[in-house]
Structure 1
Amino acid sequence: MAFPSAPTALWSVSLLAVLFAAVAHSNVVYDDDPLQPVTTDETVSVGGTVTLTCRVAESDNSSLQWSNTAQQTLYFGAKRALRDHRIQLHRSTHTELSITIDDVQLSDEGEYTCSIFTMPVRTARATVTVLGVPGKPQILGFENPVPEGGKVTLTCTSTGSKPPARLRWYRGNQELEGRPNVVAPVPDDPTYNVSSELTLEVSRSDDKALITCAVDHPSLAPGDKRSEQALRVLYSPVVEIVPESDLPREGERFYLHCLGNSNPEPTTYVWKKKDGELPPLAKVDDAYLRFEMLNKSDNGVYLCQADNGIGHSQGEYTLLVQDPTAMSTSSGVDHAVIGGVVAVIVFILLCLLIVLGRYLIRHKGTYLTHEAKGSDDAPDADTAIINAEGGHSGAEDKKEYFI
């Protein structure tokens, strides 16, 4: 057997020592080492794109390299090393090597290594976390309508989430508390199937109410994936009798309408008159009671019973037939307003007439007073007549004339 020479053996030992030192220092991060590569962990959803970036503060012209979870070289500098069309070069400089991975799958999750081939070799690791996107939730339990006061149990399921998704229940905008159930992943499948149950005691107000199951998961924006179903609640009628008009007048046609608020709609209606028989001219037409010609003998309390198979209920209406000349309440109000306006106008006119009359009487009294005063001041009968005729100035003229 041939043995290696002493210098060759020494060189081999030295090479092993260097490699051992390189491996020993590969996981050590030197914060003050400008050649130490720096990476960041990344999170991406299935089907998305992730960018892996490796940087150094300074460069000694050594090449940077990215390796995958199986330690296969992806890129050495700007050179592609692994034939995978999903992996592309994003940027390559002396201080940075960035690559992208498109259409990420769950199998791409793990630690990726960035290395710089200095002496010793320096490395940094980046953990890629892949989120499994949950499927659209499915709601079961709406197969049959629920009677009022009964209970219904709804089940919501979603598959393919990683980590396990949370399912939230809502009635309208109100969040409800469900019972979650997480199914562990099967071998070779890291995703989870999740489900949640919701039990409700329903009332008639819940009929047509929207029940929502929404998926809460880091890979989704709030409300991205949800399902809605409307509750169907069966309940007995609540009856109301609605008249054709608020002013039933004698001699006119008239009808009463029986409204049964229920689910399902009422199927039968029974009309009766309290304390008596229905009038001869009153005809039952399913939900309507029609009067061909109203008469005051039709006055009374009318009853309608509606039945929808779930239950029945009864409503009543008091009919009071008015005279043919009767006016509606709104017309009475209008006439009252018009009468009030007319009364105000008449009052104002009367006030004006009184004021005007008093003014005229006072003016005439003043005139008579001046006339009498002129007669009293005259020295004789002739002068008094002249003064009474308003002739003071004439008297003066006559006086001048006699002079």
Structure 2
Amino acid sequence: MKNPMFWVLLTGMTILLIQQGLPVHSQGESQTDSKVMDNITVRQGENVFLRCAQGDIVTHTAWLNRSSILYAGEDKWSVDPRVSLVTLNQEEFTIKIEDVDMTDEGPYICAVQTSSRPRTTSVHILVQVPPTIINLSKDIVVNEGSNVTLMCQASGKPEPSLTWKLLSPSVDLVSEDEYLDIPSISRQRAGTYECTAINDIATDVQTVEITVNYAPSVSEGRDVGVTLGQRGVLECEVDAVPKPDFEWYRDERRIFNGLDGMEIEDAGQLSKLTFLNISEADYGNYTCIAINKLGSSNASFVLYEVIEPTSSTLVQGLVGGPLMAEGSTNVLLLTSSVLEKTTSETFALPAGPGAVQDGNSGSMGTHVHTYTCLLLVTLLPFLLKF
């Protein structure tokens, strides 16, 4: 390297002037050209090129960063593998810095010794960093009524703004701060909370899950009617967190799964008591109790008998009385009785060809009514077979 004293003096002055925040000159304002370029803004992870115009007859040239020399002509002084020489000729001296990070932000100086006088060109690199959430509250489980505070902290450049919102279920609850305070939390405000950090570069999003515990609340019991010998089910539905345990009772006696022809099936917030073959002894009052660590709740049910309609009860409904309660035999008795009565009273003919019928008993309307009743009673046993 030619004239090593030049590099020693240049480096010493550059370090001193940069630390003082003054413009860079090597010998004085009248003897040194000094140029300040516009700032270079680059995103973290990108590459940046630093260009310096040469001109005239250049004897020495160098790129400096803060207190160190990156390149002196073609000689690389920096040990950073990301720094490399791109162009060095009479017109241009350009170096490249790859994968720029925050540590690369700051002032850079190109120092050139020409045949006439020294010249410096300074530029400031600004590194933009996308936001990153660096500190976030963990998923939490609390009891209803507790006070909750969520925290979300993020880094980035420019400094990111932060917002909180409840995703599911959707509730109008938003905070534009790194802290979200929820006083006396209710079960309606349990769910997934989203923290968003955003700046001009990008956005980072992370979530926190809040679980709110509360005591069980059993829905009102629904009575069920079942026919003897059939299958019956009582259902007990509850709202509770955490998931409750269920107990079933017949009056004061607890029911256990698999005993007395009854099965108990629990699935989350629902419990079913199933009767495989209803007997007379099964009808009565039942109670479902749901229990978790915060409390309990119960509901009562009535299992009652439903009588299916038979041929006897159907005839009772048609005739309007209990004549048919004994079964099909009475159907025949009823038919023959009615037929006999109708034949003897309604179809009596006059005594002789010249006899005159009584106006009350011999009218056409009476005969029509009589024939209709006779037809209905005669066909009734056949209809009951279907």
TM range (shorter): 0.5 to 0.7
CA pair 311-26 structure 1, distance change in 2 beyond 3 A: same
SS at 2:28 equivalent: helix
TM-score normalised by the chain length of structure 2: 0.53
Higher mean C-alpha displacement, 234-243 vs 306-315: 234-243
Letter in 2 for 1:82: W
CA pair 271-114 structure 1, distance change in 2 beyond 3 A: same
Matched, 1:202 2:185: yes
Give CA deviations for 1:313-332 in whole Å, capped at 9, x if unaligned.
Answer: 34466656545579xxxxxx
Shift of 1:131: 5.3
The correspondence for 2:239, drawn from 216, 238, 261, is 261
Could you tell me which runs of 5 or more consecutive residues in structure 2 were left unpaired when the two chains were aligned: 1-25, 266-270, 311-386
Shift of 1:112: 0.9
Shift of 1:103: 5.7
Shift of 1:231: 1.2
Q: Aligned pairs, how many?
A: 268
SS at 1:42 equivalent: strand
Letter in 1 for 2:41: E
Letter in 2 for 1:41: I
* Aligned mates of 1:238, 1:23 — CA distance in 2: 89
Larger Rg: 1
List aligned pairs for 1:63-212, cutoff 5 A.
65-70=61-66, 72-77=68-73, 79-86=74-81, 87-102=83-98, 104=100, 106-118=102-114, 119=116, 121-130=118-127, 136-140=133-137, 142=139, 145-157=141-153, 164-172=159-167, 176-177=174-175, 179-180=177-178, 196-199=179-182, 201-207=184-190, 209-212=191-194
Structure ranking higher in strand proportion: 2
* Aligned mates of 2:90, 2:309 — CA distance in 1: 104
Matched, 1:289 2:268: no
CA pair 116-157 structure 1, distance change in 2 beyond 3 A: same
SS at 1:112 equivalent: strand
Match of 2:322 in 1: none
Matched, 1:26 2:34: yes
CA pair 288-19 structure 1, distance change in 2 beyond 3 A: closer
Give CA deviations for 1:127-158 in whole Å, capped at 9, x if unaligned.
Answer: 11345777653334655x22223321223345
C-alpha contact (below 8 Å) 2:286/2:302 kept by paired residues: yes
Match of 2:230 in 1: 252
C-alpha contact (below 8 Å) 2:41/2:128 kept by paired residues: no
TM-score normalised by the chain length of structure 1: 0.51
Match of 2:210 in 1: 231
Letter in 2 for 1:109: E
List aligned pairs for 1:284-363, cutoff 5 A.
285=264, 287-294=271-278, 304-315=288-299, 321-324=305-308
Give CA deviations for 1:233-255 in whole Å, capped at 9, x if unaligned.
Answer: 111223247999x9844421212
C-alpha contact (below 8 Å) 1:236/1:311 kept by paired residues: yes
Give CA deviations for 1:9-60 in whole Å, capped at 9, x if unaligned.
Answer: xxxxxxxxx9535555414x7xxxxxxxx66523343xx354233255x954
**Identity across aligned pairs (percent)?**
22
Letter in 2 for 1:108: D
* Aligned mates of 1:110, 1:96 — CA distance in 2: 22
Give CA deviations for 1:295-344 in whole Å, capped at 9, x if unaligned.
Answer: 69977886534232423334466656545579xxxxxxxxxxxxxxxxxx
* Aligned mates of 1:167, 1:231 — CA distance in 2: 19
Shift of 1:82: 1.7
* Aligned mates of 2:117, 2:38 — CA distance in 1: 19
Could you tell me which runs of 5 or more consecutive residues in structure 1 were left unpaired when the two chains were aligned: 1-17, 30-37, 181-195, 327-403
* Aligned mates of 2:216, 2:175 — CA distance in 1: 31
Match of 1:52 in 2: 49
C-alpha contact (below 8 Å) 1:294/1:321 kept by paired residues: no
Match of 2:41 in 1: 42
CA pair 133-305 structure 1, distance change in 2 beyond 3 A: same
* Aligned mates of 1:221, 1:247 — CA distance in 2: 63
